[in-house]
């Protein structure tokens, strides 16, 4: 009969054994990401439903699709896509125990994320200048809400990455903590795949 004492033996050599053999935190993260699919699905569906709904006029008829700047958004989407690469490179570095490289890639990833957020701020302000106010029509409300929620997710990701960076600087993030980087990475990649979806479905697919 396995007893609690056996469990202590297990833990002594860092066997983090669970019933399924997988880490609790990682499982919780994936469950959370599964749940997030429903959150973004709802916001995206709301936008799709409303994307051509203009106000009755005269000041509220401009909708986001009228003022999309595809070349600009393509560049910022590309930046976010590449941040996924630097994120996996950070994970790869910490699993090798290469702390300076880990910090470098974490920092690069945050910077790319920050560029994306900067691009979004620029996009929002230029849309506002062109007459797409948040309260003007269902299309604009839905657009700002969807991309705003995504932006908040990216920003929180940047906060997490910078926390990891600081922890690594203080020597608290070492090779044996690579799972922490992996889990923050899962969140980051998820935010990226959501944008892959948004970029295609919201920006690129032509509106009739």
Cβ proximity to other proteins, 95 vs 99, nearer residue: 95
Cβ proximity to other proteins, 15 vs 118, nearer residue: 15
Radius of gyration of the chain (CA): 21
Pick out residues in 85-124 that bind other proteins (CB under 8 A). Answer: 85, 87-89, 92, 95
Min CB(122)–other proteins separation in Å = 18
Pick out residues in 166-195 that bind other proteins (CB under 8 A). Answer: 167, 172-173, 176-177, 179-180, 182-187, 189-190, 192-193
Ramachandran quadrant class, 133 (left: phi over 0; alpha: psi -120 to 50; beta: rest): beta
Do the beta carbons of residue 76 and residue 119 sit within 8 Å? yes
Cβ proximity to other proteins, 70 vs 118, nearer residue: 70
Do the beta carbons of residue 189 and residue 87 sit within 8 Å? yes
Q: By C-alpha distance, which of 157, 160, 172 is closest to 99?
A: 172
**Size of the chain, expressed as the number of residues it contains:** 208
Please work out the total of residues on this chain that contact other proteins, with binding judged by CB under 8 A.
Answer: 108
**H helical segments located in 51-137:** 64-67, 70-96, 99-129
Pick out residues in 42-71 that bind other proteins (CB under 8 A). Answer: 42-46, 48-50, 53-56, 60, 70-71
Q: Single out the segment in contact with other proteins by CB under 8 A; choices: 34-42, 110-118, 120-128.
A: 34-42
Does 153 contact other proteins by CB under 8 A?
A: yes
């Amino acid at each position: 009969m396995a007893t609690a004492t056996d469990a202590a033996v297990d833990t002594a050599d860092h066997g983090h054994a669970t019933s399924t053999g997988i880490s609790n935190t990682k499982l919780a993260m994936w469950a959370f990401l599964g749940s997030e699919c429903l959150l973004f699905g709802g916001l995206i569906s709301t936008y799709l439903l409303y994307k051509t709904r203009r106000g009755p006029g005269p000041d509220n008829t401009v909708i986001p699709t009228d003022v999309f700047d595809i070349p600009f958004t393509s560049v910022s989407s590309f930046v976010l896509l590449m941040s996924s690469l630097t994120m996996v490179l950070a994970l790869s570095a910490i699993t090798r125990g290469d702390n300076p490289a880990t910090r470098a890639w974490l920092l690069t990833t945050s910077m790319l994320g920050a560029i994306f957020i900067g691009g979004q701020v620029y996009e929002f302000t230029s849309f506002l200048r062109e007459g797409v106010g948040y309260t003007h029509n269902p299309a604009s409300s839905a657009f700002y809400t969807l991309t705003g929620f995504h932006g908040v997710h990216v920003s929180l990701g940047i906060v997490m990455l910078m926390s990891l960076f600081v922890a690594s600087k203080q020597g608290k993030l070492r090779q044996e903590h690579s799972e922490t980087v992996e889990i923050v990475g899962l969140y980051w990649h998820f935010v990226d795949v959501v944008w892959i979806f948004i970029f295609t479905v919201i920006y690129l697919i032509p509106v009739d």
